[in-house]
Every structure is written in structure tokens, then in C-alpha cells.
């Protein structure tokens, strides 16, 4: 407790002098409050934001998050080919009149994937991580599957993502800390994603607890999807990836986030037969008359 109290005193002192502080999300503010440190305002909320509330929540509302893939061949040349395929998909997306917010994310992610190889980001497996949105993930997956089928990529690829993603995690202290409708305390989204992913053809799914924030404070869901070049693998990947991202975007749209509302509208226009239940907005003044 003294450890937290001492550090919070230092943080508060520095912020009074102009320093800007936010919680990375590993439950620093939560544990500091439990230790009696001065991080809670009179209304019961934390006096500092999480980084989800500050910046990354907007990225998640657009559907961008950490998409992953592993080249099972272990061949660096295969990974290099996947980088080029992913970069081409992003260039196509940039040519399709994206919103300014989407364009900013796409441009950043294009630079990342173009420079990943020369910066030697691989540690162990020939794997890559790339922030991508719903449309990008599905298109990249189909392009990978086509390249495997043609022999351009020599062996299957396994798709996945970080649990710290648009829909993969429920935690009122990190990933869903910017959900303001009261459901930030519910752990249903991660479970729904796992069940929905399994039904839509994921090769395997996982549900676990504690990732990043601590046991009992977060629920995490994940998946793995094998691309082997078959038509069946491509169909399953599109179905599962559309669900995996859209589930979280729509939840954020229900919370009223304008970027999420626009993202889910575009998804329904783009994906044939995709009919999602969206929120019906009510005039706050009308509610006051009830």
C-alpha cells in the first residue's frame, strides 16, 4: 500500500506542475485506489483516464486492432510475401475514399508493414502483427489463402489476434473502460466472440481470465484460424473475421460512439446479408417527459 501511495503522491505532484498522466491499463489506478492512494474523485471515478478512454478507444471504434498471422513454414521469404500482400490490401483501402480517421490509421499501418521486415521485428516464429479493421482483415485473409492455393506462399498460415482488441476483451479497467452505458462491468462480449467464432469456423478458440489487468478483473477471448488454400478455409475466415470485429464495433455503436456507428453502417453495406441490430436513438428531452 505504501508503494502505491508514494508513487501516486509523486504523480499528483508532477501533474500539478503540468505533467499529463494516464493509466496504461494494467490496473495501476485500480490497485492504487485499493491501497488508499488519492486517485478517486468525489463521484467515484478515477481522476486520470485510461489510455483506452484517451486514445485507443477511438481506434477500436473504427474496428482497427492487432491482427496476427504465423507462417507455418518457418520461412522468412513467406513472411516477406505476406507483408507485401497486406501492404497491397491497405493501399487498395486507401484508394477507396476512407474517412479521415480511417485514412490516418491505414497510412500508419501501411508504414508499419512496409518497414517491419527491415526493422527485424521477428522473435522466434515467422509471425507478424498488424493493426487492421474488419474489411482489411477479411481481405488480407482471402489474399493469403489465394497465395497459399497458388503455391506463392509455401505452407499454411495461422491467423489470430491479440486479446487486447476491438472485441476480444471485457475489462472496465482497460479495453471497455470507455463504454459508458453501464455494460463496461459485464463480461459477455469476450464469451460471445468465442462462441460466435467457433460457430463460424475458427480452428480453435479460447476463453481465459486475467490478461493484462489481473485475475477477476478481465475476461479474454481468442481464436486461431488455419488457412490452407482451400475454398472452405477462405469462406470460414471471412465469416469468422467479420463477426470477430463487428461484435465489438457494434457494442461501441450501441454506447453511442459516432465512429463506431459509422463503421458498423459501412460494414452492413459492404458485407452481403449482414443485418446487425443497431441502436435506436431517443431524444433525451423526450425521456424527461416520461
pLDDT per residue as tens digits for the range 155-166: 999 999 988 889
At 224, the pLDDT band (50, 70, 90 cuts) reads very high
pLDDT range class, residue 276, cuts 50, 70, 90: confident
Mean pLDDT of 182-186: 84
Three state DSSP letters for the chain:
CHHHHHHHHHHHHHHHCCCCCCECCCCHHHHHHHCCCCCECCCCCECCCEHHHHHHHHHHHCCCEEEEEEECCCCHHHHHHHHHHHHHHHHHHHCCCCCHHHHHHHHHHHHHHHHHCCCCCCCCCCEEEEEECHHHHHHHHHHHHHHHHHCCCCCCEEEEECCCCCCCEECCCCCCCCCCCCHHHCCHHHHHHHHHHHHCCCCEEEEEECCCCCCCCCEEEEEEEEECCCHHHHHHHHHHHHHHHHHHHHHHHHCCCHHHHHHHHHHHHHCCCCCCCCCCCCCHHHHHCC
67/49 Cα distance (integer angstroms) = 26
Across all residues in the chain, what is the average pLDDT? 92
Cell numbers that stand for 285 in this block: 428531452
Query: Cell 471471412 belongs to which residue?
Result: 238
Per-residue pLDDT at 225 exceeds 90: yes
The percent of residues in the chain predicted with pLDDT above 90, rounded, is 63
Report the range of poorest mean pLDDT among 42-51, 67-76, 275-284.
Answer: 275-284
pLDDT of residue 54: 86
| Section 123-152 average pLDDT | 96
| Cell 481465459 -> residue | 208
Q: pLDDT for 106-136, tens place per residue?
A: 999 999 999 999 998 887 899 999 999 999 9
| Candidate from 111-120, 176-185, 246-255 with smallest mean pLDDT | 176-185
Cα 245 to Cα 167: distance, rounded to the nearest angstrom: 6
Range with lowest mean pLDDT among 32-36, 255-259, 286-290: 286-290
Say how many C-beta atoms besides its own lie within 10 A of residue 76's C-beta: 12
Whether 82 contacts 144, CB under 8 Å: yes
Q: 216 or 233: whose pLDDT is higher? A: 233
277 — pLDDT class (breaks 50, 70, 90)? confident
Question: pLDDT at position 172, please?
Answer: 84
Per-residue pLDDT for 81 more than 80? yes
66-79 pLDDT, tens digit each: 999 999 999 999 99
Q: Is the pLDDT of residue 211 over 80?
A: no
Q: How confident is the model at residue 181 (pLDDT cuts 50, 70, 90)?
A: confident
Half-sphere CA count of 27, side-chain side, radius 13 A: 15
Question: What pLDDT is attached to residue 184?
Answer: 84
Query: Considering only 21-25, 78-82, 102-106, which range has the smallest mean pLDDT?
Result: 21-25
C-beta separation of 56 from 116 below 8 A: no
Amino acid at each position: 500500500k505504501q508503494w502505491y501511495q508514494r508513487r501516486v503522491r509523486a504523480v499528483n505532484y508532477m501533474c500539478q506542475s503540468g505533467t499529463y498522466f494516464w493509466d496504461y491499463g494494467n490496473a495501476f489506478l485500480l490497485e492504487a485506489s485499493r491501497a488508499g492512494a488519492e486517485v478517486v474523485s468525489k463521484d467515484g471515478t478515477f481522476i486520470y483516464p485510461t489510455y483506452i478512454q484517451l486514445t485507443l478507444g477511438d481506434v477500436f471504434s473504427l474496428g482497427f486492432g492487432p491482427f496476427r498471422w504465423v507462417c507455418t513454414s518457418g520461412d522468412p521469404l513467406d513472411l516477406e510475401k505476406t507483408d507485401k500482400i497486406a501492404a497491397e490490401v491497405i493501399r487498395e483501402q486507401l484508394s477507396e475514399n476512407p474517412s479521415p480517421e480511417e485514412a490516418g490509421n491505414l497510412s500508419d499501418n501501411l508504414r508499419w508493414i512496409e518497414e517491419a521486415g527491415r526493422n527485424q521485428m521477428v522473435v522466434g516464429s515467422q509471425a507478424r502483427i498488424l493493426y487492421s479493421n474488419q474489411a482489411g482483415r477479411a481481405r488480407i485473409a482471402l489474399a493469403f489463402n489465394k497465395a497459399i492455393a497458388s503455391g506463392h506462399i509455401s505452407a499454411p498460415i495461422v491467423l489470430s489476434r491479440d486479446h487486447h482488441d476491438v472485441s476480444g476483451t471485457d475489462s472496465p479497467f482497460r479495453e471497455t473502460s470507455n463504454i459508458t452505458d453501464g455494460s463496461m462491468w459485464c463480461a459477455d462480449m469476450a464469451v460471445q466472440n468465442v462462441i460466435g467464432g467457433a460457430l463460424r469456423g475458427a480452428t480453435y478458440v479460447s476463453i481465459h481470465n486475467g490478461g493484462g489487468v489481473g485475475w477477476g478483473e478481465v475476461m479474454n477471448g481468442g481464436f486461431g484460424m488455419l488457412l490452407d488454400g482451400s475454398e472452405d478455409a477462405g469462406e470460414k475466415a471471412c465469416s469468422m473475421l467479420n463477426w470477430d470485429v463487428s461484435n465489438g464495433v457494434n457494442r461501441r455503436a450501441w454506447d453511442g460512439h459516432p465512429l463506431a456507428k459509422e463503421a458498423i453502417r459501412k460494414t452492413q453495406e459492404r458485407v452481403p446479408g449482414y443485418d446487425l441490430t443497431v441502436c435506436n436513438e431517443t431524444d433525451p428531452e423526450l425521456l424527461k417527459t416520461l
